[in-house]
Structure 1
Amino acid sequence: MEKKRRKFTQCPNCGYIFEEVNNYCPNCGQENHDLNVPVKHLVEEFLEGTLHYDAKFWLTLKYLLFKPGLLTEKFILGQRASYVPPFRLYVFISLVFFFLLAISPNTMQVDLNNPDRLAQLDPEDKEALAELDSVRATLGGPVAEQQELDKSMGALVEKARGGDVDTKQVRDKMIKNTSFLMFLLMPLFGYLLYLFYRKQRRNYVEHLMFSIHGHSFFFILFTVYLVLKFFLPQSAEIFFLVPLITAVYVYFAMRRVYKQSYLQTLLKFIPVSFLYVFCLAVALLGNVVVSLLLS
């Protein structure tokens, strides 16, 4: 879509007299576009330039949410002009997600093996502990992983009781590090798909596009959950629907993109998911440790 410009007759930077065809100043290179307008117009221009938020954006969102794997399939077939580019879509969705995550109310309930001890904690200590409890609930993995995480949570309790932890700083560091970790894990998931589907002789970029669309869907679901937390503070149970729905979505997306039977897809989905969740668990646990050490 061609950008709608509010053109000057004279360059405000160097004084060059513009002709109608000049989108940039031939003398100094400044864009011939007036930005001194109400904020509403700037926001509209940003969305339009970033996402083409008109028909293109809504069509992309529709396919992403309700047609698992279709956007990836369209990309592989070269049908790309009608949809928001995958990287641009991911960046926008992840920015919205991590912004809401940073400002969302912390309503996770702490549930360790010693409730009597938790009852003795100050509210500040419980707030710090809740950060790790959120990660614990997210992992939901094997008992060994839960025990290791409980040890880290216990260390946080001791540190918080001693007044050595700035809980807000820990939270901010965890969110910042998580955004970076997810950006690294996204190509990892694509590489896992590349390994399990290597007999199809597909280029890695096809698997990467699948991963980008899958992570974008997950972030949208998580964003909906974060919005619900503002209105339903006791909505922690809803959280567990996010990974469940994402798993079902990825399974059907894999079947559409890789064109295998339900059983063949399942036999690849299970080990790919297990390996990815294991890497995610390790990354989140490492994030907790690093955030604590730097606080």
Structure 2
Amino acid sequence: MRCKKFSFTLQPLILVLNLIVVNESTAKICKNCGFLLESTHHFCPNCGQEHKERIIYFKEFFIDFLGDYFTFDSKIIRSVRPLLFSPGFLTSEYLDGRRVRYIPPLRMYIFISIFFFLMLSSSKEPIQLDGENLDAAFFDAYFDIWMPRLFFFLLPLFAFFTYFLFRQKGRYYLSSFIFSVHFHAFVLLLFTVYIFISSYLSQAMYGVNQWMLLACGLIVEIYLLVALKRVFDKKWLTTWFRLILLNIFYIFSVAGVFLAIAVLIYKTQY
């Protein structure tokens, strides 16, 4: 028992002796666990923490905070750029097994949806709670609660319609769900940009705002057509015809969901 205790007490002394023997230019200690690092070690072999001998800035602190959840690195550029300008590319890459270089679909959707709903809530004008506007404020507050849930509900619903219309041998429902996640992430990102721009337009430029909204709708349809063609590899005419059916099914479903929410809000209030 004494030998074990004696050997344990020598550990700090051995560590100090190691520091004396090692050249000062190459000696590095992990600030997390105290492990002796080599000059080539950028990460601690013992605990895995990155070794940094410099001041940590706020930007780095923010990235470290979000890194575990959203992988804040070069994956963002490699993911957002094709999401915007290469319809269906990310879905094809994911289904073909090339996944590590991109942000996972659901993680990307959650990240973009957070920005979308933050932008949406900040763009609303405050409502004076008098007798005339009380009902409007009540409905508005409930829609703020239900909108994120609605979008999560629309993901599998849109995937079901896509799977039904573009079913392929060897492709399962999950393939259509991945496509749905990427498509809705694009839609949210596009309308986040639209809300940001329209928030700076004055009332006199109402017509420009309407044209921008119409352009966004047209972009979404063209994007969806190209994405469906790339992922499911149908003929252009077949893809276009099934896109029309997909729009009909989806629009009626969204309208039905909005109506159900409105009825639920009405019953809650009255």
> TM-score by structure 2 length?
0.73
Report how far residue 177 of structure 1 moved. Answer: 0.3
Highest RCO, 1 vs 2 (Cα 8 Å, sep ≥ 6): 1
Per-residue deviation, 1:243: 2.3
Q: Is the 8 A contact 1:102 1:172 kept in 2?
A: no
Query: Residue 75 of structure 1: CA displacement?
Result: 0.6
- The verdict on how the C-alpha distance between 1:20 and 1:268 changes in structure 2, with shifts beyond 3 A counting, is closer
Runs (5+) with no aligned partner, structure 1 = 10-18, 25-36, 108-122, 129-159
Question: Do the aligned residues in 2 keep the contact of 1:178 with 1:287 (CA within 8 Å)?
Answer: no
Residues 95-174 of structure 1 aligned to structure 2 (within 5 Å)? 95-106=114-125, 124=128, 161=132, 165=135, 167-174=136-143
Q: Counterpart in 1 of 2:32? A: 7
Determine the structure 2 residue equivalent to 1:53: 72
Q: Secondary structure of the equivalent of 2:152?
A: helix
8 Å CA contact retained: 1:105, 1:229: no
Query: For 1:82 and 1:221, how far apart are their aligned partners in 2?
Result: 23
Q: From the superposition, tell whether residues 232 and 197 of structure 1 become closer, same or farther in structure 2 (CA, over 3 Å).
A: same
What letter corresponds to residue 82 of structure 2 in structure 1? Y
Map of 1:256 onto structure 2: 230
Q: Quick one: distance in 2 between partners of 1:205 and 1:176?
A: 28
Aligned to 2:177: 208
Displacement of 1:292: 3.9
- Indicate whether 1:78 and 2:97 are aligned: yes
1:8 Cα offset (Å)? 5.9
User: Considering only aligned residues, what root-mean-square deviation do their CA atoms show, in Å?
Assistant: 2.8
Larger of the two Rg values belongs to structure: 2
Q: Matches of 1:50 and 1:192 in 2, distance apart?
A: 30
Q: Identity over the aligned pairs, expressed in percent?
A: 28
TM-score (norm 1): 0.67
Match of 1:179 in 2: 148
Q: CA deviation at 1:96?
A: 0.7
Equivalences for 1:250-289 in 2 at 5 Å? 250-289=224-263
Name the aligned partner's letter for residue 48 of structure 1. Answer: G
Q: 1:23 to 1:186 in 2, by over 3 A?
A: same
Is the 8 Å Cα contact of residues 221 and 242 (structure 1) preserved in structure 2?
Answer: yes
**1:230 maps to amino acid:** S
Residues 102 and 6 (structure 1 numbering): CA distance in 2 closer, same or farther, change over 3 Å?
Answer: farther
Letter in structure 2 aligned against 1:246: V
Check the 8 A contact 1:97/1:220 in 2, yes or no.
yes
* 1:21 and 2:46 are equivalent in the alignment: yes
In structure 2, give the amino acid aligned to 1:7.
N
In structure 2, give the amino acid aligned to 1:81: V
Gaps spanning 5+ residues in structure 2: where? 1-29, 35-43, 50-55
Which residue number corresponds to residue 43 of structure 1? 62
